[in-house]
Amino acid sequence: MTRMDIVEIKKIVPETPSIKTFYFNYDLDYVPGQFVMVWVPGVDEVPMSLSFDKDLKAITVRKIGEGTEALHGLDVGDRIGIRGPYGKGYELEGERVLAVVGGIGGASILPAVTKAVFKGQEVICALGARTLNELLFYDRFKELSEVHVATDDGSAGYHGFVTDIMEDLLKDIDLVITCGPELMMKRVFKIADNHDIPVQASLERYMKCGIGLCGSCVVDGLRVCVEGPVLKTEELRKLKEFGEYHRSPSGRKVSLKRPKLSY
């Protein structure tokens, strides 16, 4: 198991009413889309995508459970544990890339878009959120690429789901990358696959170890923490649970089907 390093939080940036970015010093080589395990002392250890990779590294966290709520309660100068990186990231192929993002999925996608632009690839971003106030990293994506926005309530951009605007953006696209709610990503996959465009999607599952031992993140026999979290078209086609179920901490199947997508 990779050793855990204790790092000091150097800066905290509120991004939306429910999302904060935590910056810290951490020396590592990683591929955008990989994740680290973040230990909140006395509380929990949770998997997080690295959202920034410059002089300071960062994780961007939505408050949704005990571990993330505890992270949101930390201050500059507090310490957390980091181990990793783990898993497989995005393989940025082709000349034109479409990134389809829902909510907190921007934390995984932003480093990939940054890398693609640095490599000389052309990137188009489709960003989805419930409402304008929850639209993550719009300015940063806008600095790098052409950006299209959709919000559930119509407060910014298209009034509806980001997948509604995706099909109009597929001309001459060589690769689609996506991260966000799984129902959204399943729809992204179907649309792109119908156009014979390869997809790479970052799946989120409950993880305990991050190194493929505990089995808590297994989907149809595939360990998301090792074979994923970024999976390609050929792998996604084989997954019967993709867009259908996730598993609770106890391992119980929980349906993903809801009347509306939830960013």
Neighbours of 203 (CB within 10 A): 23
Give pLDDT, residue 228: 86
**How far is residue 247's CA from residue 203's CA, in Å, rounded to a whole number?**
13
Give pLDDT, residue 209: 81
> Residue 59 above 90 pLDDT?
yes
- Quote the percentage of the chain above a pLDDT of 70: 95
Give pLDDT, residue 2: 67
> Residue 244 above 80 pLDDT?
no
CATH 3.30.1310.10 for domain 96-255, yes or no, is no
- What's the distance, Cα to Cα, between the start and end of the chain in Å? 33
- Give the sign of the dihedral formed by CA 71, CA 115, CA 141, CA 170: negative
**How far is residue 234's CA from residue 72's CA, in Å, rounded to a whole number?**
37
Give pLDDT, residue 258: 58
- In the chain, CATH 3.40.50.80 sits at 96-255
**More confident: 257 or 204:** 204
- Kindly indicate the confidence band of residue 259, based on its pLDDT and cuts at 50, 70 and 90: very low
- In the chain, CATH 2.40.30.10 sits at 5-86
Task: Check: CB of residue 48 under 8 Å from CB of residue 93.
Answer: no
240: helix, strand or coil:
coil
- Kindly indicate the confidence band of residue 224, based on its pLDDT and cuts at 50, 70 and 90: confident
> Residue 55 above 70 pLDDT?
yes
Q: Is the pTM of this model over 0.95?
A: no
CATH superfamily of 5-86: Translation factors (2.40.30.10)
Give pLDDT, residue 250: 64
Enter the DSSP assignment of 168: G
